Structure 1
Amino acid sequence: MESENYSDLDIPIEMLENWQGLIEHIANVASIPTSLIMRLQPETIDVCVTNRHPKNPLHVGDAESLNGNLMCKTVIDSQKMLIVDNALKSQLWCDNPDAKLGLISYCGLPINWPTGKAFGTICMLDNKENGYTDSERQLLILFKNMVENSLTILYQQYVLEEKVKKRTAELEQVNLQLTKALDKYAAAEQIIEQQKYSHDLTGFPNIHELEKQFNANIIASDKPAALVHLRITNLTQIRNNLGLEYSQHITCYIADKLRQLCPVDTYLALLSDDDFAIVYQQGNDDLSNELMVIINNLISGLNEAVSFAGQKVKITRCMGISLYPEHGTNFLELMHNTSVSASECQLHNRDYQVYDASLKAELMDRFQLESQLMHALPNKELSLHYQPLFDVANEKLIGAEALLRWHNPLLGFVGPDQFIPVAEESGMMIEIGYFVLRSAIKQLASWQVSGNDDFFVAVNISPLQLADPILVDTIEALLETHNVKATSLEIEITENVFLGNQDGVLQVLRRIDALGIRIALDDFGTGYSSLSYIHRFPFSTVKIDRSFIANLETSSVNQHLVTAIISMANAFDLKVVAEGIEDKIQANFIENAGGHIYQGYHFGRPVNVDDFTRQYIL
């Protein structure tokens, strides 16, 4: 059996806590005393995570030699599921270590790193004969995939850190051989002197000092240089949610990180609380390679969550890059092009963006979209379409999802995937969100008057709306105004609402739940930590992402995943909505798997309110 090469990689505590939740859940569902995640070591296989059952004889850190008669070793070698109903009745397994502890039945699956190397196993053990049901096996398959998703993220971080270490070591070796060390120290002293005219908290010079330095040292020398615009894209959200003191701490934290991660002769400046400038000049022809070392260092070094006053926040950032003199022959032109690159980088959620002349045209298109969107509400260009929701049991209409649409006289029909991100980033989403809530609740009242008392409407809520302190009071007032029962409204959120202040989100969702409003987790299954959200937050519904429904009739992987998700949701007493149902085969599968609600083109496309009323209500 070939051992994996990453046995020295520590599993983060947060990841272990996630795995603990999986193991506890599968032990509860299967009613067994022991469930495990085992980790392969060079000479042994160790208990990495185990459930906390009083009859579980195994503990974290317990190890068995690979020379023994181990069922987990067989699972790793064969890369297949192993089921042993009763080891005491098997000549092969009657003397294995688990049987000696009283654990006589076993069901296990291999867990691998993304490279294919073995990590270990995930398994269920019972102290009585047990063949394990299909739903328990499918749940084990789902949790195996979730653990492997976690390992993929950990491995990618490991690879990036190794690359950065290698490039950093190469750069340090070159620096040792440079003969112009005194010139570099002299330049550093000059930079320190200039930085006396600086930002109070960070000590960084402002944009005026940056321009003076650039003109004096870069343009005067006429040597190639790079200007980097580093933007902290979620600092405004952090300030709104956690306060000014926290955002100032973030600004100082970034400043300290830049001092640590950038070479000594790099010039650093602060353009605003969330915008930093980095100027790097190299006398030889290796500017691009050395610049990429700096960029990779920044990507890696700014990837950690920041803790302050008992809160932990993940920083999001983007970097725009322009080169002198290739992208500009004076400071203002170069600064403008660097900012254009940063905006493009932020728009497309990239780590960095090097300037290209075509970016200006694309950015102008975005500015045009944003300027038109500012007038969309007063000009009555926004409307709601509704997609029907049907009960799986009898295919009876039970509700609808409200979907925002925009038709602009200049731009024509603009897709939600284009304008909703712009609305969120520009802050317009709060006002637009209240328009959606008002329109949906008012229309719901109209439909219920027509005799559809049990009909409900689902409305999507953005992270910005959840951070609005008057959200819950506004929803309650709208329900009272239109005489609509709270149970007739469903709020849909996605996992990105948890990227900020989770405690604040939890408080808001608890208030919404206390009113009797349903809360649905949209796009379930696309994130490795979905299970932890289900445990902690008051959800009543999960919506299976349409990516799992696609090719359901031909993909055994999708079939197993959907079945396992529905089984797990039922175990938590949650309703399951299957999105993207496009044919009868998919609908039949969802029915047989135990799903509750259909949504998709097979049952009805999103249509405007008049067409929906005519087709489904009257």
Structure 2
Amino acid sequence: MMIKAAERHLQDEHLLDDISVNTTEICVPEDIFNSWQQTLDLISEIVDTPAVLIMRIHKNDNKMEVFASSKSTGNPYRRYDNDNLGKGLYCETVIAQNCELHIPNALKDSDWDNNPDLKLGMIAYCGLPLLWPDNTPFGTICMLDNKEHSYSQKFRHLLARFQEAVVTNLATLYQQEKLQHLNQLLETRVQLRTHELAELSTKLIREIENRTSAEFSLEYSKNYDELTGLPMRSGLIDSLTQMLKQSKASETVTVLYFGLRKFKSINDSYGYLIGDQVLSQFSQRLKQYLDKDTLIARIAGSEFVIARSHKKTASNDLELITKILDCCNAPFSLAGFTITIPSCMGIAQFPTDATTAEELLQKSSAAMSISKTEGVRYSFFNQDTQSSIEQRYQLESHLVDALNNQELYLNYQPLVCLKTHRILGAEALLRWHNPVLGQVPPDKFINLAEHNGQIIEIGNFVLHSALAQAAHWQALQQSDFRIAINISPLQFRAPNFAEHIADLLTLYQLPTTSLELEITEGILLQDEHLAHDSIKKLQAQGIRISLDDFGTGYSSLSYLQKYSFNTLKIDRCFITNLEKNEQDRELTRAIIAMGKKLNLHVIAEGVETQEQDRFIQSEDCDYGQGYLYGKPTSADEFESNYLTE
């Protein structure tokens, strides 16, 4: 628990007897209330039910109050509406029984004849209790309908997910209230050890992280894409499942998974406004194929899916494939520009390749990846593609529990000052060892974690572990120690990312100048405004920002113009062939010189030979990283090899 260590200390001194929290006096801040309001509105939209409420009980006044109410059509409840307890309210029963109450139609159950909600026409109900951490009731979260409504297990599970989020908020408010009482006692106990206070801070940060993860999951709940108006993945799966059920024995369902390749170059060359217009115009082209036998959806970014039910003939397949590819490859005319974008496509069919909507999407997507790799216009799903999917499934099934099973860990590679040959710090490198799979390379599981949403939790693990280790080494050396940490695009886009980093540095008592965050062009491609704002906030704190893998991206030079960096990191592909390739030598020389002109520090990574070391030193490169100076190693070995005399 959050205050466990502090409570043990205070119990020894018989001080906790004075600590009590009156939950009736705890106020819900505006930002949390607004988050609840958005949640209720979203549930009402998804479930298609007119009223979604958060109720608060006031036992002292013998009242049940509408604390928050969805802003939906047909909702008769308004905030602050209240009624006396003891009248047989749905919510009063939920609180009394402390469990879910689901009533598809109260008119069919005489136990609810006197329920005041019937006067408002609300005959269907599904509600869950909301409790404070001391198990006293806050109230309920519930859904109501003015017609018979047997809420599905999916919708009840969705309500339970948001119940958990609200309870997490209540726990935070409760702990903050209790923390205020504790602080009054702690002020007179200056000898309380600092790690007990750190435990309090850690719990608060963890709760913020959990709330951030819940809010992030909320973004995926909507069914339609705002830009194109097309359904997204969840809506497509529901519709495709229905299409498969209705398919006749003489018919097949063909799923085309296709994407506009190198779409990021459009955003880089013409700007995001033009890029959005291309996607919007492209979606309008696709809609001409929309009919009762055809489904269209935007899956992600510049990737789309068309699913069509038709007779089992090869001519039908090729005709549809050709039409869609021609649609993709036709030039776009926008703002005086004529833009042509290459495309690639993967095809999977029901029932020969798969029998469920999810499998068809997975297999057609895998086939598209093959077509992209082989440079062909389209690829049908085959056995080789199946092998790739099975390998991905195996990785994903083990990755789900990797963090809980303590299979993920960090290695550290030294960062060397080329002028003094002194170890300045280290880069934290994530590693995964699984008992079944063995050592799994990062390039095999990092992208997988990005796609399945685990990267937020894994990224927080890396931040906590690396910063705690850096703080230990800085105290050990009694001098500055720089720790470099790679940040994923999904982490970087998380709400209040800069503030979260500041909280962690305070928690581990590490100066901001000791941290360097490494970002790639993937972060910069996602949201230019967000990237610029986050970089500015982080640098204002004193945190260094490094552009990783410089020289390999499509528009690396344009990034130097748009964003403020502290460090350039030359990609290892230039360093590897320095002895043999004159072009690589000239490019490396140019990058170092450009970095110096822009007052940036330059790091060469992947240095493995004395010849490479001599070259980058002769060009006045600032730092080196690679096997020549030290391989990635465990924290204990790093400390033994580089930090102890």
TM-score (norm 1): 0.56
Match of 1:256? 284
Matches within 5 A, 1:24-35: none
Distance 2:394 2:601 in 1: 42
Are residue 535 (structure 1) and residue 561 (structure 2) matched?
yes
Match of 1:341? 363
Amino acid paired to 2:240? I
Amino acid paired to 1:514? A
Match of 1:434 among 460, 465, 472: 460
- Following superposition, the deviation at residue 373 of structure 1 comes to 1.3
Match of 2:633? 607
CA distance change for structure 1 residues 324 and 436 in 2, over 3 Å: closer, same or farther?
Answer: closer
Structure 2: gaps (5+ residues): 1-227, 263-275
Are residue 300 (structure 1) and residue 329 (structure 2) matched?
yes
- Following superposition, the deviation at residue 485 of structure 1 comes to 1.0
Larger RCO (alpha carbons 8 Å, 6+ apart): 1
CA distance change for structure 1 residues 320 and 201 in 2, over 3 Å: closer, same or farther?
Answer: same
Between 454-463 and 200-209, the greater mean CA deviation after superposition? 200-209
Match of 2:603? 577
Are residue 524 (structure 1) and residue 550 (structure 2) matched?
yes
Distance 1:378 1:302 in 2: 49
Match of 2:172? none
Match of 2:162? none
Distance 1:344 1:587 in 2: 42
Match of 1:559? 585
Matches within 5 A, 1:15-94: none
**Contact persistence 1:229–1:277 (CA under 8 A):** yes
Are residue 544 (structure 1) and residue 570 (structure 2) matched?
yes
Matches within 5 A, 1:93-492: 206-207=239-240, 210-211=243-244, 214-215=247-248, 219-220=249-250, 226-229=254-257, 255-260=283-288, 267-270=293-296, 276-279=305-308, 286=315, 290-300=319-329, 319-323=345-349, 327=352, 333=355, 338-345=360-367, 350=372, 353-492=379-518
**Contact persistence 1:266–1:281 (CA under 8 A):** no
**Contact persistence 1:231–1:342 (CA under 8 A):** no
- Following superposition, the deviation at residue 209 of structure 1 comes to 6.1
Match of 2:35? none
**Contact persistence 1:392–1:598 (CA under 8 A):** yes
CA distance change for structure 1 residues 420 and 225 in 2, over 3 Å: closer, same or farther?
Answer: closer
Structure 1: gaps (5+ residues): 1-199, 235-247, 307-313
**Contact persistence 1:404–1:416 (CA under 8 A):** yes
Distance 2:245 2:615 in 1: 68
**Contact persistence 2:257–2:368 (CA under 8 A):** no
- Following superposition, the deviation at residue 501 of structure 1 comes to 1.1
Specify the SS of the correspondent of 1:547. Answer: helix
Distance 2:453 2:466 in 1: 21
- Following superposition, the deviation at residue 339 of structure 1 comes to 2.0
Distance 1:295 1:461 in 2: 37
Amino acid paired to 2:477? G
Identity among equivalent positions (%) equals 36
CA distances 1:319-364 after superposition (whole Å, capped 9, x unpaired): 5413578x35xxx738565323234257779385421134334323
**Contact persistence 2:515–2:544 (CA under 8 A):** yes
**Contact persistence 1:337–1:355 (CA under 8 A):** no
Distance 1:570 1:457 in 2: 22
Match of 1:513? 539
Between 403-412 and 364-373, the greater mean CA deviation after superposition? 364-373
Match of 1:63? none
Amino acid paired to 2:641? Q
CA distance change for structure 1 residues 538 and 349 in 2, over 3 Å: closer, same or farther?
Answer: farther
CA distances 1:114-153 after superposition (whole Å, capped 9, x unpaired): xxxxxxxxxxxxxxxxxxxxxxxxxxxxxxxxxxxxxxxx
**Contact persistence 1:210–1:269 (CA under 8 A):** no
CA distance change for structure 1 residues 419 and 305 in 2, over 3 Å: closer, same or farther?
Answer: farther
Amino acid paired to 2:326? N
CA distance change for structure 1 residues 315 and 555 in 2, over 3 Å: closer, same or farther?
Answer: closer
Specify the SS of the correspondent of 2:445. Answer: helix
CA distances 1:46-94 after superposition (whole Å, capped 9, x unpaired): xxxxxxxxxxxxxxxxxxxxxxxxxxxxxxxxxxxxxxxxxxxxxxxxx
Between 501-510 and 353-362, the greater mean CA deviation after superposition? 353-362
**Contact persistence 1:391–1:397 (CA under 8 A):** yes
CA distance change for structure 1 residues 304 and 249 in 2, over 3 Å: closer, same or farther?
Answer: closer
**Contact persistence 2:484–2:515 (CA under 8 A):** yes
Specify the SS of the correspondent of 1:590. Answer: helix
CA distance change for structure 1 residues 343 and 578 in 2, over 3 Å: closer, same or farther?
Answer: same
CA distances 1:244-296 after superposition (whole Å, capped 9, x unpaired): xxxx9999766423135x5x999421478766433286898655654552343
Are residue 588 (structure 1) and residue 610 (structure 2) matched?
no
**Contact persistence 1:305–1:315 (CA under 8 A):** no
Specify the SS of the correspondent of 1:607. Answer: coil
Amino acid paired to 2:638? F
Distance 1:414 1:602 in 2: 24
**Contact persistence 1:390–1:396 (CA under 8 A):** yes
**Contact persistence 1:492–1:521 (CA under 8 A):** yes
TM-score (norm 2): 0.54
**Contact persistence 1:265–1:280 (CA under 8 A):** no
Match of 1:495 among 521, 527, 533: 521
Amino acid paired to 1:521? L
CA distances 1:210-231 after superposition (whole Å, capped 9, x unpaired): 347742xxx53x6x88442458
Distance 1:447 1:349 in 2: 48
Distance 1:211 1:461 in 2: 41
Distance 2:341 2:390 in 1: 27
Distance 2:242 2:632 in 1: 55
Specify the SS of the correspondent of 2:429. Answer: strand
Specify the SS of the correspondent of 1:388. Answer: strand
Specify the SS of the correspondent of 2:285. Answer: helix
Distance 1:614 1:295 in 2: 61
CA distances 1:407-458 after superposition (whole Å, capped 9, x unpaired): 1122211110111011111111111111111111111111111125222010
CA distance change for structure 1 residues 452 and 270 in 2, over 3 Å: closer, same or farther?
Answer: same
Match of 1:146? none
Amino acid paired to 1:300? N
Equivalences, count: 390
CA distance change for structure 1 residues 544 and 279 in 2, over 3 Å: closer, same or farther?
Answer: same
Specify the SS of the correspondent of 2:420. Answer: coil
Distance 1:575 1:299 in 2: 43
CA distances 1:522-541 after superposition (whole Å, capped 9, x unpaired): 01011241122112212000
Specify the SS of the correspondent of 1:499. Answer: helix
